[in-house]
Amino acid sequence: MKHQQRNFLEILKIELDDLQEDIETLKEICEQKLRDGLITNYVYKENMALYENELHAIKTFRQLIKTTNPDQFESLERMIQSLDEQFMTTMKSCGYARAGHICIKRKILKVANYVQGK
């Protein structure tokens, strides 16, 4: 069981790398749309602020992962619940957008299903 929890954390780190790359790509697309006149400067700034907020949320979530000891938890579900609760508290105190939590939660579910063989 502990092996499954360790695998979960390691695979989740890789998925977070992928999520960061996706957000960086979205930033590049947004910049191109601004240059092409497809969006206004206002929309550009709003989008970029959201993307940066999401990147900061991911960085903070990575810190939670680093400090998580999988041996402390009796199950993968309990570890995931703890990570989610800690992150929700941090999100509120740091003022992170809900979009960051949604993206991270999707990655968590994806990895959990994978390591559980679903």
Cα-Cα-Cα-Cα dihedral sign, residues 13, 19, 22, 24 = negative
The Cα 41–Cα 89 span in angstroms is 33
Instruction: Dig out the tokens for 23 from the structure.
Output: 């957000």
Return mean pLDDT, the chain. 95
Q: How far apart are CA 89 and CA 65, in angstroms?
A: 15
What is the number of domains present in the chain? Answer: 1
- Predicted local confidence at residue 75, as pLDDT: 94
Q: How many residues does the chain have?
A: 118
79 touches 73 (CB < 8 A): yes
Helix (H, G, I), strand (E, B) or coil at 45: helix
What separation in angstroms does the CA of 97 have from each of 50, 102, 103? 7, 9, 11
pLDDT tens figures, 51-95: 999 999 999 999 999 999 999 999 999 999 999 999 999 999 999
pLDDT over 70 at 1, yes or no: no
DSSP 97: -
DSSP code at position 70: G
Instruction: Tell me which residue range forms the domain holding 27.
Output: 2-115
For residues 99 and 82, what is the distance between their CA atoms, to the nearest angstrom? 20
User: What pTM value is reported for the model?
Assistant: 0.89
pLDDT at position 2 is 73
Mean per-residue pLDDT for 28-40? 98
